Structure 1
């Protein structure tokens, strides 16, 4: 779903209210047939199947000239129209195709080949294109030779830190991290933000914290937004500004990442992998600065049965599937290697981050909450035999801030788990306890209920994630049926001892605070009246 053409601008044209002035955006250069210059050469349909598929696309997308190698999404398609298109394909050809394969190969040519395979009765066994082979991941996780900390000199940063650099400060977890860093220290905090200038960067920080009830006017004196891009060399800054920042910062907390489970390794790599490399380079520039990296428990293989993982280095990426999971595995390994070269590092691996245990404030933009909302909208429970670690965002933020600002635990890895391991059925039961009626269906009937709703044009939060669900079972990217993972937390427990930081167990009462928050913000509709 990447655009076929990019136009680079120094800044986006703005309206007086600060929004983008779309009318002043430069037009994309087009060829004589109305296609973007540099796009693939037009290839007309050549078989009966291809002609019929092109006609279906024309009807849905309102585009006249469609080639068999054109991407459905480049032509204006989205998750909803993709589901509706596949319904038309089923009606026209009398066979069901994999929605997941469409998202990976979204062309008429690929669909026609899928139809041939479906008619042959041979099951398609191609691996998910969101994932990389283990051998390729191992190569991706080799730390470049230029990332080496400078030799220790007097004046190297030590706690208490005066200046902290935070990435990912305009996200959900980032808002709570900022609140904890501000409350637990006197440090000034520089926040790297994708923005046109410092003014816009500061506005984004302020609005993000305010969304979750975390902003205080006094924060402005200690927060400094920096218009930057962690995925670009030098963070996209000029050399003088970069060097000055590297000289002034005492501590780096790297929370910046894209967490879209539906995207491929290559789509997520620029931020999740290359961004991590740039953070490590920054930490080694001018003077050595400790790096605290927010990884994920998703870096571990999800296998059937009971498996226990220690707070230690990662080894084989075998059975680590999905673009997000694999980019986090690579980033985790890169940070660990930098630590082996002498850079002071800590790695934090949280589970599925959920709402605040104190306020109920929760993000609507997570895969987990999309599944919860999708089930509520379909009034049907997803049947899935899997365990998960749901961890309150404010607990995660407090734990990271406490350990990072303490400055005494470099070289260690910490697992941030929930107070108790949950089975997915526990989550379903808590939602029901909150008054939402969820039918018990077989997986196949649940899938048909959700897909059918989307095909009819009904709103369902899972529409954008349906490529992660096949007709007979969820994708391996989502998890392995029967998986029951557990995680060592002895190092985290020792680091938090005496801090007063505790993770509360998620129960029906806490789930009610999350769902109430979603109702207040409009993410969920009220519980239907009996």
Structure 2
């Protein structure tokens, strides 16, 4: 009995010390704190016990150690403090903060913790146990009450690894221990099994009414996909949407939601605000952080629940992500089962298939084996979906919507900067290399959002699984798309590509791609990347049939054109690099013109000619600017006895969208603007135009160029006309097209055909414009004289 009282007294003392440290150290220095963490080691030749063993305390004080780590972690968080059992990342810590914390623990406290251990489980109590090598770490299964509160439940004892020798002399257990990663895996699997059992505690319910929802709870509305789904719900249904937003109060929640929508170029208008109710809460908390009264109101008023919120981090482990991704999902299931029955639409992920070597990813195919999922994100998405499958056995209508990579918006270019797909695409364009992969299962956010909302609003679609992955991109697709964009890439083995990418990111750090660098260095994240890049194409027959039945836009490949706006935004934000006119041209050809010029308003009687090379850096340049780069020479004795060099030149195709000049009788086909330098260093300018008119000399219109020439900063001195000789036009500008030799023969032929088709279409539209306008004027029978005209 005395021993029991002593143990309780010692525990109370340790707890008081831990609380003192958590509040700010209580005036204790670092050395004082460490002195209370573990007892001083007894030297090897010191006094021994009767049995000959060193007389040492067999275990460090883990409670105090956890408080020490929590106090250090709090200095890197927005709130300035962290409880020992709270997750560092859930409290607002970033990966950068984690790096800083690990450095501080080692440099100031002498506590060596691997960064991967922090990402795996960022609770100070867990880090303390792992560092100290204490056996018996337990996977705790919280119990879910009917009100949604989590409490401690049963535990399963697991052995703990012996970490590398720390700087402080901590006694190690005598029994053999497993490797750290093995024990951590066993802990994760036991925790997953415990979490799955929580779904069995949900009540049995009846089916909900199969009616389009009028009141919907949406989580994750401040995220990339969730914000687009919010707007699509408002546009394509009559529903009022309750948005659960992590914030201290309603005003802060509303502000945060508005800022998120605007950041993704979505409207935050009076109409939007009228049709939503913002609820400050948190999916990681019991009852979603809502009051009992609000919880009960929602249980009886809602017609549907849409769970989009999730912690998307490929570095963190299962223990660090489970509160958001698993327990939060189960809390939504509990709300769906409370009060009147409601369908639950869960945004899952094809990460549930992320097992290396899996052969198919169909909507009804078996999911991956849980013990073969390495990344914590994959494990949590798997656990959440499997738990909801158990909830279906209780009558809950659950729809699983599985996106793959979510690409940028095809019209606005809005993208998720922390999405792995965005990071990889940025690296492809910047480094001009791609790893050998099988498929990229990526679809644009506007398509994913629209289809997901279509499912939510159609009762006949509820209760099934859908793969919202679009049409997968093959390696050939990506290489060809980038080539057409003027970004010729080399294909490398995955390991070689990763090594090269890391070396480049280290040599030239790009803050926006720091997260990608960490992913490429994380063992668990690398397994996720390997499974993603080497996995099969995701298929979605059920999704395709539903899209057709609802009349929604069918899935198309997320190709170069669909990515155009997003790639421009990536480049503007420093994540990607667009082709530059100083790069190796993508395609080029020569153009020779001959004619005569003379003083303005006088006869043109002086010979003048140009030998030019016209080129484009990419098809992107044509689509966005309709501009061609120009180099070459001008030979004109009226300007200078020697040839002038084109220092900078541009040709615009159908400038101003071909808007007509001279009262609608003349349309611009091409406009030339050249900056010239003569042999004496003088600067000149040349402005040239090709026009289309409603006449029969179409062939000459495409070749004749009216020009004006003058000194830089001065008005025109010379004017005249230069014409491309008929015998050189086809030879130079069709047969003579050259393409970047780094492309394969097939790619070169495709580039030529693409250019000719695009340029021919532009010229055809330009030449047709004057005839169409003339015909419209002749056939405009509505044109009747006004009274004022009749009386003139």
The TM-score bracket by the shorter chain reads 0.7 to 0.9
- Does the aligned pair in 2 maintain the 1:192–1:228 contact within 8 Å? yes
Per the alignment, residue 303 of structure 2 pairs with 250
Distance 1:112 1:388, change over 3 A: farther
Q: CA deviation at 1:163?
A: 0.6
Which of 148, 152, 164 is matched with 2:203 structurally?
A: 148
Match in the other structure for 1:513: 565
Determine helix, strand or coil for the equivalent of 2:461.
Answer: coil
Query: Which residue pairs with 2:654 in the alignment?
Result: none
1:230-241 residue pairs with structure 2 within 5 A? Answer: 230-241=283-294
If the length of structure 2 is used for normalisation, what is the TM-score? 0.51
Query: How much has 1:210 moved relative to structure 2?
Result: 1.9
SS at match of 1:498: helix
1:333 aligned residue: 386
Q: Distance in 1 between matches of 2:29 and 2:350?
A: 47
- Contact kept in structure 2, 1:265 and 1:324, CA below 8 Å: yes
3-state SS of 2:315 partner:
coil
Question: Matched residue of 1:276: which SS?
Answer: helix
Kindly provide the CA deviation profile for residues 92-132 of structure 1, in whole angstroms up to 9, marking residues without a partner as x.
xxxxxx9867966898995668xxxxxxxxxx994595896
- Specify the alignment match of 1:324 in structure 2: 377
Structure 1, unaligned runs of 5 or more: 1-26, 47-65, 87-97, 114-123
Q: Which residue of 2 aligns with 1:489?
A: 540
In 1: Cα distance, 2:566 partner to 2:31 partner? 45
User: Judging changes above 3 Å, is the alpha-carbon distance between structure 1 residues 481 and 128 closer, same or farther for their aligned structure 2 residues?
Assistant: farther
What is the SS of the residue equivalent to 2:569? helix
1:480 CA displacement: 3.5
Structure with the higher strand share, 1 or 2: 2
Moved more, 513-522 or 131-140: 131-140
Rounded to whole Å, the distance in 1 between the matches of 2:575 and 2:565 is: 14
**Paired position in structure 2 for 1:160:** 212
Is 1:476 the counterpart of 2:471 in the alignment? no
Q: 1:37 to 1:387 in 2, by over 3 A?
A: farther
Q: 1:433 offset after TM fit, Å?
A: 3.9
Instruction: Provide, for residues 12-59 of structure 1, a one-character-per-residue CA deviation record: whole Å limited to 9, x for no partner.
Output: xxxxxxxxxxxxxxx95125444599999667999xxxxxxxxxxxxx
Shift of 1:494: 2.5
**What is the 5 A alignment of 1:72-471?**
74=73, 126-127=181-182, 134=189, 137-151=192-206, 157-217=209-269, 218-304=271-357, 306-311=359-364, 314=367, 316-377=369-430, 379-419=431-471, 421-424=472-475, 426-427=477-478, 429-436=480-487, 443=494, 446-455=497-506, 458-469=509-520
8 A contact 2:116–2:522 mirrored in 1? no
* Alignment gaps of 5+ in structure 2: 1-21, 42-64, 77-93, 104-113, 121-126, 133-161, 167-178, 584-792
Task: Give the CA deviation at 1:318.
Answer: 4.0
- Secondary structure of the 2:406 match is strand
Shift of 1:338: 1.2
Q: Quick check: 1:29–1:36 contact (8 Å CA) kept in 2?
A: no
More deviation, 210-219/167-176 = 210-219
Aligned to 1:17: none
Equivalent pair of 1:194/1:201 in contact (CA under 8 Å):
yes
Counterpart residue number, 2:684: none
Q: Which has the higher contact order (CA 8 A, sep 6+)?
A: 1
Pair 467,522 (structure 1): closer, same or farther in 2 beyond 3 Å: closer
- The worse-fitting range, judged by mean Cα deviation, of 276-285 and 380-389 is 380-389
> Is 28-37 or 399-408 further displaced after alignment?
28-37
The 1:159–1:432 alpha-carbon spacing in structure 2 relative to 1, beyond 3 Å, is: same
Q: CA deviation at 1:487?
A: 3.4
Q: 1:101, 1:230 → 2: CA distance?
A: 25
CA 1:410/1:230 → structure 2, altered by over 3 Å: closer, same or farther?
same
Larger radius of gyration: 2
Measured in 1, the distance between the counterparts of 2:523 and 2:323 equals: 33
**1:415 counterpart SS class:** strand
Q: How far, CA to CA, are the matches of 2:576 and 2:541 in structure 1?
A: 38
**2:232–2:453 CA contact under 8 A, matched in 1:** yes
| 1:384-431 Cα shifts (integer Å, max 9, x gaps) | 434220011111111111111111123211111222x22356435534
Tell me the residue number matched to 2:725.
Answer: none
Structure 2 CA distance, aligned partners of 1:248 and 1:334? 25
Distance across 2 between alignment mates of 1:44 and 1:524: 54
CA contact (8 A) 1:375 1:382 kept: yes
Q: Retained in 2: the 8 A contact 1:301–1:318?
A: no
1:270 deviation in Å? Answer: 0.4
Contact 2:354 2:373 in 1 (8 A): yes
8 Å CA contact 1:311–1:415 kept in 2: the answer is no
Take 2:31 and 2:548, find their aligned partners in 1: how far apart are those partners?
59
Is contact 2:285-2:328 (8 Å) kept? yes
Structure 1 residues 38 and 45, CA gap change in structure 2 (3 angstroms):
closer
Question: How many residues were matched structurally?
Answer: 460
CA distance in 2, matches of 1:432, 1:45: 65
Cα distance in 1, alignment partners of residues 331 and 98 from structure 2: 38
Query: Cα gap change, 1:287/1:512 in structure 2, threshold over 3 Å: closer, same or farther?
Result: same
1:150 touches 1:286 (CA, 8 Å); kept in 2?
Answer: no
> In the TM superposition, what are the counterparts of 1:65-76 in structure 2 within 5 Å?
74=73
8 Å Cα contact 1:261/1:323 also seen in 2: yes
Counterpart CA distance in 1 for 2:35 and 2:217 is 42
Q: 1: CA distance between counterparts of 2:436 and 2:411? A: 29
Q: Measure the CA separation in 2 of the matches of 1:220 and 1:322.
A: 38
Once the two structures are superposed, what CA deviation does each residue of 1:219-248 show, in whole Å capped at 9, x if it has no partner? 111011100111211111111111112211
Match of 2:663 in 1: none
1:36 & 1:518 partners in 2: Cα distance?
48
For residues 402 and 103 of structure 1, the distance between their equivalents in structure 2, rounded to whole angstroms, comes to 36
